[in-house]
Amino acid sequence: MTTSVRSLNGGKTAAERIDSIFGSDIFSRVIMRQRLPKEVYRSLLRTIDRGEPLDPAVADVVAASMKDWAIENGATHYTHWFQPLTGLTAEKHDSLAAPDGSGGVVFNFSGSELVQGEPDASSFPSGGLRATFEARGYTAWDATSPAFLMRGDNNVTLCIPTAFVSWTGEALDTKIPLLRSVEALSRQALRILKIFGTDQGISRIVTTVGPEQEYFLIDRELFFKRPDLLTCERTLFGAKPPKGQQLEDHYFGTIPPRVLAFMAEAERELYRLGVPVKTRHNEVAPGQYEIAPLFEPSHIASDHQMLMMETLKRVAPRYGLQALLHEKPFAGVNGSGKHNNWSMSTDTGVNLLDPQDETHTNMQFLVFLCATIRAVDLHADLLRASIASAANDHRLGANEAPPAIISIFLGKMLGDILEQVEAGLPKRTIKGGVLDLGAKTLPMLPRHSGDRNRTSPFAFTGNKFEFRAVGSSASIAWPNTVLNTIVAESLDYIAGELEKSVGTKPTEAKLQLAVVSVLKQVIHQHKRVIFDGDNYSEEWHAEAERRGLPNLTDSVEAFAVLRAKKNAELFRKYGVLSQAELDSRTHIAIEKYVKQLGIEGETMVSMARNMILPAALQHQQRMAGAVAATKAAGVDAPDTTEALRSFVQLVTRLRNATSAVEEAGSHHDADSMRHAQQISRDLKPRMADLREVVDALEALVAADLWPLPTYRDLLFLK
Ligand code: ADP
Ligand code: MG
């Protein structure tokens, strides 16, 4: 048997074959163990696994070994790879080795170059943290995230994950606050474990994240024919095709061969980079797909998520495809999100949100659960703000994505236990039982104690929460920073209450009573955020309003939340963001909104004037010709004349609507918040008007005259 498997696998055993793919382009633990002196390796692991400070003495040794490994694998350059506040990644390449002019070579990579870089920071957004003439910024090696090789045509580059900070010490990236938020949560979670006496051998708590990425694939040639896709990654015009997603025949359907070939190659590249991709399938909308990795510590998951988006984009063209990560590339069919599965775990691998079998006796779990519930209720506005963007506005609250109202789905079993806690000591855990399929040859299936809920923005799914409102093109660093921080605050609060009532070494019975009494009050105050019903329904919107839950339907409203005192105080208290760092992020988010919609408005105007109007006029001419010819033939043609008349009216509307967008888009305001408000109030509705006219024209103009690939072409060509 082995021989046939070997021959199938190109002469390799399964393990050998997997070894040659998985993680082969990362400076992994296996490679470090082989190459580094034992003491250096151990010291580095203490930093990676236990969060201990990096010993500067190890850096030189690691750098030398990393350089050799990279050069042996074809690398010629290295870069400090970081995530500035553009929401993207940044890199500046330097050569690893260069000719010395006399036939030898000089190596350019030392310990200090590994640890610290100095890119010019002036052209990255700082949101007012610094003036443009103050250019100094530093990148600092994040030893906890593995270095990797990025392969392209004719180039291999050693990428060193780094944090990016200004000369004044302010975080200019998304990674530093995320790492700080994990530290904050770790500190508070450890206090809880200490109270329960479950902290032995545990030095820190991490949050774990598994982000499910939704995206669209379209034919790349068609992509280039649409200026809107090319510049905005979404269609600004496009009439609904006769068949959208109503037949529901795409979801989980057979993956088209070209798409599958693309997926396999993208996954292979991701495996080489150590990104643990696990799942692939068709999503709900035609042309929409999903890729999901296994969960990892949140800061690694966040780096890997950036690599995943970049890999999808990079590989797709090799198959004549274009990957669209935008939240809403097409009106009328589902948009794309990034379901952010999140939990808390000890460094020994114990999931703190695992309810286990007799959940009602698992007081520690109930504490972590209720802390999360309290956090989400107290800071629903901040969570909403963490996922706000012009692109996500098209999705949230529309009928297929979670609404902008943040609520929690718990399911029957947990809902029942919380009700019991509110009334006293919990006594039972509802069990799911088994499903008998009624055919002897099929197995009995264990059944969960409750069904799933697809409509909730923040759902408990077995042993983790799934924050579903995150946008598909967004970095997950910021929403997770917020989530970690708000939960840290609730853990702090609950730990404080428990310490007050029982001290640090209580008996089990006393502890149980104290926990129930604290949680009872937490549940009573915060259960309004729990909702297991249909989040898409109108009744829920009315009910949420009665419950006093915030409903920030528009990003501009959500950005304002970031300016609230309570939030600045929260980030400051837990050492996640200073006031200036928070202000800079708020400023950048608003500016991005303004710029993005400005670009969309201008693109609309130019497409309407240069493409749609000429096509409409040609069509008008054809119609007029038909009327004239019919009349000349002596036939009365009232219908044709009427059709021409209403078509001409539509063309007039096109001209007016185009000018209206142009006019609303030409507005400027030095205050970016006021500008954003003007855009939301004036520009957006006019863009919607213009789109309506153009889509009506698309339904009338002859196909051979229409200048853009249609939704049918874009969504169904596989
Ligand atoms: P489902 O959404 O159908 O429950 P999975 O169980 O496969 O699907 O999980 C979806 C995502 O959640 C995957 O990326 C998975 O790795 C991640 N996930 C599972 N457990 C955890 C956890 N403890 N913490 C964070 N993410 C998790
Ligand atoms: Mg899921």
- Return the best residue to mutate from 209, 283, 295 for the ligand 1 pocket (most ligand atoms within 8 A of CB): 295
Give, in order, the Cα–Cα distances in Å from 444 to each of 429, 438, 448, 625. 21, 9, 13, 72
3 state SS of 275: coil
Answer whether 463 contacts ligand 1 (Cβ < 6 A): yes
What spacing in Å lies between the alpha carbon of 569 and ligand 1's midpoint? Answer: 32
**What is the predicted pLDDT for the residue at 402?**
82
What spacing in Å lies between the alpha carbon of 402 and ligand 2's midpoint? Answer: 13
- Return the best residue to mutate from 298, 453, 464 for the ligand 1 pocket (most ligand atoms within 8 A of CB): 464
Mean per-residue pLDDT for 340-351?
Answer: 96
> Residue 238: left (phi > 0), alpha (psi -120 to 50), or beta?
left
Nearest-ligand number for the alpha carbon of 462: 1
CA distance 481 to 301: 13
What spacing in Å lies between the alpha carbon of 341 and ligand 1's midpoint? Answer: 6
Q: From the CB of residue 305, how many other CB atoms can be counted at a distance below 10 Å?
A: 25
> Over the stretch 163-222, which tens digit does the pLDDT of each residue have?
988 878 888 899 999 999 999 999 999 999 999 999 999 999 999 999 999 999 999 999
Give, in order, the Cα–Cα distances in Å from 76 to each of 72, 102, 314. 10, 19, 20
For the residues of 208-222, what is the DSSP string, one character each?
A: EEEEEEEEEEEEHHH
Answer whether 407 contacts ligand 1 (Cβ < 6 A): no
Task: Work out which ligand 1 atom sits closest to the CA atom of 343.
Answer: 24
Nearest Cα to 711, choosing from 245, 232, 263? 245
Answer whether 351 contacts ligand 1 (Cβ < 6 A): yes
Count, residues in the chain: 718
Mean pLDDT check: name the lowest of 32-36, 111-115, 373-377: 111-115
**What is the predicted pLDDT for the residue at 15?**
64
3 state SS of 292: strand
Q: In the structure, what pLDDT confidence band is assigned to residue 671 with cuts at 50, 70 and 90?
A: very high
Q: Are 330 and 196 in contact (CB under 8 A)?
A: no
What six digits make up the tokens of 96?
């690893």
Long-range contacts of 33-38 (CB under 8 A, 24+ apart): 35/65, 35/68, 35/69, 36/61, 36/62, 36/65, 37/61
> Over the stretch 430-485, which tens digit does the pLDDT of each residue have?
887 676 777 777 777 776 766 677 889 999 999 999 999 999 999 999 999 999 99
Helix (H) or strand (E) segment spanning residue 163: strand 155-166
Mean per-residue pLDDT for 682-699?
Answer: 97
Nearest-ligand number for the alpha carbon of 342: 1
Q: Burial, 421: exposed, middle or buried (Cβ in 10 Å; 0-12, 13-18, 19+)?
A: buried
Number of helices (H), then strands (E), belonging to the chain: the values are: 26, 19
Answer whether 8 contacts ligand 1 (Cβ < 6 A): no
Q: What angle do CA 167, 565, 671 make, to 5 degrees?
A: 70
Task: Work out which ligand 1 atom sits closest to the CA atom of 211.
Answer: 14
CA 374 to chain centre: 23
Answer whether 144 contacts ligand 1 (Cβ < 6 A): no
CA distance 309 to 303: 10
Dihedral of the alpha carbons of 68, 70, 72, 73, in degrees to the nearest 10: 170
Nearest Cα to 577, choosing from 672, 446, 477? 477
> Over the stretch 624-635, which tens digit does the pLDDT of each residue have?
999 999 999 999
Answer whether 464 contacts ligand 1 (Cβ < 6 A): yes
**What is the predicted pLDDT for the residue at 4?**
47
Give, in order, the Cα–Cα distances in Å from 45 to each of 51, 288, 692. 9, 40, 59
Nearest CA to ligand 1 atom 3: 461
**What is the predicted pLDDT for the residue at 5?**
45
CA distance 434 to 595: 54
Positive/negative CA dihedral, 503, 507, 513, 515: positive
Nearest-ligand number for the alpha carbon of 292: 1
* DSSP-derived secondary structure letter, 342: E
Answer whether 686 contacts ligand 1 (Cβ < 6 A): no
**Mean pLDDT, all residues of the chain:** 90
Q: Burial, 508: exposed, middle or buried (Cβ in 10 Å; 0-12, 13-18, 19+)?
A: exposed
Nearest-ligand number for the alpha carbon of 480: 1
Mean per-residue pLDDT for 667-675?
Answer: 93
Q: From the CB of residue 640, how many other CB atoms can be counted at a distance below 10 Å?
A: 18
CA distance 259 to 119: 38
Q: In the structure, what pLDDT confidence band is assigned to residue 2 with cuts at 50, 70 and 90?
A: very low
Q: Are 280 and 263 in contact (CB under 8 A)?
A: yes
CA distance 138 to 141: 10
What spacing in Å lies between the alpha carbon of 343 and ligand 1's midpoint? Answer: 9
> Residue 99: left (phi > 0), alpha (psi -120 to 50), or beta?
beta
Q: Are 676 and 556 in contact (CB under 8 A)?
A: yes
* DSSP-derived secondary structure letter, 198: -
Q: Which residue has the tokens 């935008």?
A: 326
- In sequence order, the β-bridge partners of residue 80 are 160
Nearest-ligand number for the alpha carbon of 351: 1
Residue 495 has pLDDT above 50, yes or no: yes
CA-based R_g, the chain, Å? 28
Mean pLDDT check: name the lowest of 39-48, 207-216, 515-524, 657-666: 39-48
Nearest Cα to 518, choosing from 506, 504, 532, 501? 501
CA distance 239 to 227: 16
Residue 538 has pLDDT above 60, yes or no: yes
- The more confidently predicted of residues 17 and 424 is 424
Answer whether 453 contacts ligand 1 (Cβ < 6 A): no
Share of the chain above pLDDT 70, in %: 93
For the residues of 339-368, what is the DSSP string, one character each?
A: EEEEEEEETT--BTT---TTGGG-HHHHHH
Give, in order, the Cα–Cα distances in Å from 699 to each of 150, 239, 352, 424. 46, 7, 55, 64
CA distance 56 to 673: 44
CA distance 469 to 448: 24
Nearest-ligand number for the alpha carbon of 339: 2
What spacing in Å lies between the alpha carbon of 487 and ligand 1's midpoint? Answer: 19
Nearest CA to ligand 1 atom 14: 210
Nearest CA to ligand 1 atom 11: 210
**What is the predicted pLDDT for the residue at 245?**
67
What spacing in Å lies between the alpha carbon of 454 and ligand 2's midpoint? Answer: 9
Q: Are 618 and 647 in contact (CB under 8 A)?
A: no
**What is the predicted pLDDT for the residue at 21?**
75
Q: Which residue has the tokens 């163990």?
A: 33
Residue 131 has pLDDT above 70, yes or no: no
Residue 685 has pLDDT above 80, yes or no: yes
What spacing in Å lies between the alpha carbon of 465 and ligand 2's midpoint? Answer: 10
Answer whether 596 contacts ligand 1 (Cβ < 6 A): no
Report the half-sphere exposure of 631 (CA within 13 A, side-chain side).
Answer: 10
Helix-helix angle 257-272:14-21, to 10 degrees:
80
Q: What angle do CA 124, 127, 133 make, to 5 degrees?
A: 60
Answer whether 461 contacts ligand 1 (Cβ < 6 A): yes
Q: In the structure, what pLDDT confidence band is assigned to residue 23 with cuts at 50, 70 and 90?
A: confident
Q: Are 36 and 158 in contact (CB under 8 A)?
A: no
**What is the predicted pLDDT for the residue at 3?**
42
Answer whether 342 contacts ligand 1 (Cβ < 6 A): yes
